[in-house]
Structure 1
Amino acid sequence: MSRLRITEIFYSLQGESSTIGKPTLFVRLTGCPLRCVWCDTEYAFTGGAYREIADLIKEIESFNPQNICITGGEPLAQKEPCEELMRILCDKGYSVSIETSGAIDVSGVDKRVTKVMDLKAPDSGELAKNRYENLAFLNKTDEVKFVIMSRKDYDWAKMQMDQYQLADKTNVIFSPCFGEINERELAEWIIADNLPVRFQLQMHKLLWDDAAGH
C-alpha cells in the first residue's frame, strides 16, 4: 500500500457542511499549494509524518467512527494515495467526506465520497486557482462552499451561482470569513436576495476558538 503525510488525526464534532454537529473523525493531510489570506490551518502546510495506509486504517478503526472527514491542507495534493485511502474507507462502509480547495482535479474521487469543495472568492487571494472543470463532477450529495470576506466576495459568489446554475446541481454554502465580516450582515444579504444557499457559521470556532485538534 501507499503512504500519506499526516498532520493529525482527531475525533470531534463536524463544524461545517451539511453534517455540522455530527461526531466525526478527522484525518488532516499535510501540504497545500494554495495560500488563502484567511487560512486557519497554516500549521498543516509543512511537517507532518508519513504513515502507511494500512497503519492509518488501523488507527481509524480504533475510534469506531461512523463519519470520517479527509481534510488538510489540501488533501488532494497527495492525490493518488488520498484517493486510495478514501476508496478503502468506503469499501469498509464508512461515511466519508473530503474538504478540498477546488484547485485540484476531483474526477478520481470515489463517487461514494461527499465532496465539500471551495470556490475561492476574490478576497481569498487565490481566485486564479479555481478549477471550474471540477463543477462537472459534483452531484446533489456534494457541496460547494464560498468563504465570504466582503460584499465583493458575496456579489462574485452570486455571479458564479447564476453562471454555473450551482443550486440546481449541488448544495451551496455561504460561510462568513471568521473575524472579517459581520455574520448578521451576510445573513441579511442572503435573506434579501432569497438565495438558495445554506448560511454556515463555523461551529468549531465558536466552541473551541479554532484550537488545533477540533
Structure 2
Amino acid sequence: MKEDTLVVHEIYSSIQGESTFAGLPCTFVRLTGCNLRCAWCDTTQAFFGGQRMRRGEVLDRALASGTPLVELTGGEPLLQPGAIPLLRELCDAGRTVLVETSGEADVSRVDPRVHKIMDLKAPGSGESHRNRWSNLAHIGPRDEIKFVLADRADYEWMRGVIRERELTRLGCTLLASAVWGKLAPKDLVAWVLEDGLLVRVQVQLHKIIWGAEAQGV
C-alpha cells in the first residue's frame, strides 16, 4: 500500500525555527517532493532524492530522539499518502505534532490533534493562484496561517486577505514572515504597527543561529 512507505529527505533534531513553537527542541521529519516552485523557496534540496522508508521505521526514528515536539515538513509532506497515518501515529504516541504545509494541499484529512501551520502564498511567491481557499474551513484555534512576504505588495495582499476573508474569526495565529534577504523585518514591523494588524511577526530563528545556507539544523 502507498501509505506503508514514505520517501524521506532527512530526519533530525534541532530547535523549532518558526511559528509559535519557535525555540523549542523539535524533531523534524522532512519528506521529499513538492508540487510548487515558490520564487523564494529555501528548501529546494528536498524536491528530489531521499530514501524510501517503511512508515513504522520513520515513526520509530522520530520518536527515538525523545523530543516532545515533532514536525512533519518538506517539500510538501501532504503529497505522500503515508503522511496522514504517520501524523496520527505521532499523536497517538503522545507527541505534540506540527505539519508545515503549503496551502495548496488538502488539509481536511489531517488528524485534528495536529497543529497545522499552513501557508497562504502571496503574489511574490509566484504561486498565489494555487492557494486552496477551501482549506480555511479546516483551520481552527490550534492552527497557524503563515504569510511569507517579499515586498510591500505582498504585505498589502496579506492585509487584504486577512480583512476580506475575516481570518481573525478563525481563532488561529496569523504569522507574517519576511523573505530572507528580500524584505527587512524592521520594515514589516513598521507596516504592521502602522495598520494595527493582528499578526505575529516572526523571523527564521534557525537562519539567525546557523546561517541561511545551513541544512539539517
Q: Is the counterpart of residue 110 in structure 1 residue 116 in structure 2?
A: no
| Paired position in structure 1 for 2:16 | 14
String of CA shifts for 1:125-166, please: whole Å, max 9, x gaps. 001110000011000110000001011000000111011111
Q: Is the counterpart of residue 140 in structure 1 residue 135 in structure 2?
A: no
String of CA shifts for 1:89-143, please: whole Å, max 9, x gaps. 1111110000000101100000000000000000100011100000110001100
Residues 118 and 146, structure 1, Cα contact 8 Å, conserved in 2: yes
CA distance in 2, matches of 1:128, 1:197: 23
TM-score by length of 2: 0.97
CA distance in 2, matches of 1:43, 1:91: 31
| Paired position in structure 2 for 1:213 | 216
String of CA shifts for 1:176-207, please: whole Å, max 9, x gaps. 01000111011000011111100000000100
Determine which of 5, 8, 31 is the counterpart of 2:7: 5
Q: Which has the higher mean CA deviation after the structures are superposed, 155-164 or 58-67?
A: 58-67
| Paired position in structure 1 for 2:36 | 34
Deviation at 1:60, TM superposition (A): 1.7
In structure 2, give the amino acid aligned to 1:30.
T
- Counting matched residue pairs gives 213
Say which SS state the counterpart of residue 113 (structure 2) adopts: coil
1:1-214 matches, cutoff 5 A? 2-78=4-80, 80-169=81-170, 170-210=172-212, 211-214=214-217
CA distance in 1, matches of 2:162, 2:62: 36
TM-score by length of 1: 0.98
Deviation at 1:61, TM superposition (A): 2.2
Q: Which has the higher mean CA deviation after the structures are superposed, 56-65 or 90-99?
A: 56-65
Residues 167 and 197, structure 1, Cα contact 8 Å, conserved in 2: no
Residues 28 and 62, structure 2, Cα contact 8 Å, conserved in 1: no
CA distance in 1, matches of 2:145, 2:59: 28
Dislocated runs of 4+, deviation >3 Å: none
Instruction: Give identity over the alignment, percent.
Output: 44
